[in-house]
Amino acid sequence: MNILVTTWCNRRECDFCFEQSVPEIRASGTLPVMGSSERSFLTAERYAELLHLAIEVWRSPRISLLGGEPTQHPLIAQFLREALALDVDVGVNTNGVFGGSRSEELRDILYSPLGRRLFFLVNAYLRPGQPTAEIKAIRENLRWMESACTLSVTACGDGLDLLPYANLIREFHLNKVIRISLSHPMLNHASRFADRERFHAIGQSLKRQGIDLKQHGIKLLCDCGFVACMFAAQQRDGETAEAAIRRGLGELSDCGILFKSVCHPLLDVRPDLSVAHCLPLSAGKRVSLDEIRYPSRDPLAASLAVHFRSQAHSYLFDACQSCGLRGSGECVGGCLSYRLKLQLATGV
């Protein structure tokens, strides 16, 4: 389960941020400035309820704390200790931009007996003109996170340069996997996302860079939304498009790329106890845990999935309809939010 402990974020330059899909954030009047100015924080009482629901009732083996920026919650250290005491894996999805006593608190937890099941997913969003203070804070935190940290990168196009992230991994002895997230559109909000016409170029760029990074023992984990044809090899004379895709997939191991086309999102629970299928679809439908109690996670997840899947009548590309990989379940045919966004744009 993903628990969004706050809608507040201390970094506002991420124009691909999923948080911008949330109606109350869009209505706050802060856009197009990125990041929420609404300091909505999950209360300690509601957090305790969610821990009980996720771990004791739903038997979730892992929870992830998200935001906004979760480290901006004044009770984040308490939240981590309470979750870790229940002997489950706990992840913190963060931008890495925090310091002072907050950094010391989280470092102390990581190096305590409880910290063996604590992990950090850091999207440093390295970019030209990045404030010096921001870079300094990220580096100082990576120094103590070490192998408990996995770097996350959001791909909005094929110009993504992974070398700076690889350098951070080597310098601070981080987990030798870079999680690549493909930037998806929010269903009811304008945002920057990867152009589907550049998907193949993105895939080829990752393959080229993956070969170089593999020499340093670094692998690339492609997150949800990636499709098989992104990695297609150059089509040979007499070769079908599907055969070229399968040949390209066969090359991924040599490129150090871990890929499986999936659309099985974790449920996202917000500070108001509303539940969304996934962040890009937050504006489409949410269910209140205050109103409905489910004895297990599956019925709730299924009801949200059915709601959106029943509306998705097309796939990312025309060829998806007859593609054997999609038919066999080897490719899901694209991110659900992207498919629905295309339908809204084309009126299909």
304: pLDDT strictly greater than 50: yes
How many whole angstroms separate alpha carbon 58 and alpha carbon 56?
Answer: 6
Of the candidates 161, 133, 110, which has an alpha carbon nearest to the alpha carbon of residue 11?
A: 133
* Cα 280 versus chain centre, distance: 10
pTM for the full predicted model: 0.91
* Cα 40 versus chain centre, distance: 21
**In what helix (H) or strand (E) does residue 343 lie, and over which residues does it extend?**
helix 336-346
Task: Report how far apart, in Å, the C-alpha atoms of 198 and of each of 111, 155, 193, 299 are.
Answer: 43, 11, 11, 36
CA atoms within 13 A on the CB side of 177: 14
Token pair in block for residue 153: 């990168």
How many whole angstroms separate alpha carbon 306 and alpha carbon 262?
Answer: 16
75: pLDDT strictly greater than 70: yes
Which long-range CB contacts under 8 A does 301-307 form with residues at least 24 apart?
A: 301/267, 301/277, 304/267, 304/275, 304/276, 304/277, 305/277, 307/277
How many whole angstroms separate alpha carbon 318 and alpha carbon 316?
Answer: 7
Q: How many Cβ atoms from other residues are within 10 Å of residue 341's Cβ?
A: 21
- Note the pLDDT tens digit of each residue in 90-136: 999 999 999 999 999 999 999 999 999 999 999 999 999 999 999 99
- Note the pLDDT tens digit of each residue in 136-153: 999 999 999 999 999 999
Question: How confident is the model over 244-256, as a mean pLDDT?
Answer: 97
Token pair in block for residue 213: 């990074």
Question: How confident is the model over 29-36, as a mean pLDDT?
Answer: 37
Question: How confident is the model over 72-82, as a mean pLDDT?
Answer: 96
Task: Give 132-182 as a DSSP string.
Answer: HHHHHHHHHHHHHHGGGEEEEEEESSTT---HHHHHHHHHHT--SEEEEEE
* Residue 118 main-chain phi, psi, to 5 deg: -105, 135
